[in-house]
Amino acid sequence: MTDWISGNVYIRAMGKNGKGLKLGEVVKGHKHNFDHTSIFFCGNWHIVKWAPDGETRFDFKRAGPFHLLIEKDTKHEFTFLGGAPIGHAWCVYSHRTPQGEVSLEYNGWLDAYQSIDE
C-alpha cells in the first residue's frame, strides 16, 4: 500500500510500492496543489526546494528523523543518501474539498494529493 487514509489525513509512503527508497534513489522534482508535510523517519537525505519563481529556497543534507513543510506550488526533490538499509519517508496531506478548503473527512477528491511532475 502506498497511499492510505488515516482519519483526517491522507498519507503517501515514498518509494516503489511505498516500501521506501534505496541508496541513491530520488523522488524527482514535483509540485502539489496544496501545502503538505513530508516526514523522514530514518537515514540521510538530500533535500532541495525551490520557490515558485524557480529560485532555490533551500538545499541541505540531514539525517532523519525530521519533518518539512512543503508549500503549495514549490518544486521539491528528495534523494536518499544511505545511513539506513532503506529510507522511509511519508508525505502527509489534509483532505480538501474541490473549493480548496480543508475537510476533516476524506471525500474522494484526489486533486488534493496530486503530484505535478516537472
pLDDT digits (tens, 9 = 90+) for 36-68: 999 999 999 999 999 999 999 999 999 999 999
The fold of 3-117 is: Jelly Rolls (2.60.120)
Output the pTM of the full model: 0.93
Count of all residues that appear for the chain in the document = 118
Query: What are the sequence ranges of the domains in the chain?
Result: 3-117
pLDDT digits (tens, 9 = 90+) for 69-82: 999 999 999 999 99
Q: Say how far apart CA 50 and CA 67 lie, in whole Å.
A: 17
Please tell me what DSSP assigns to residue 85.
S
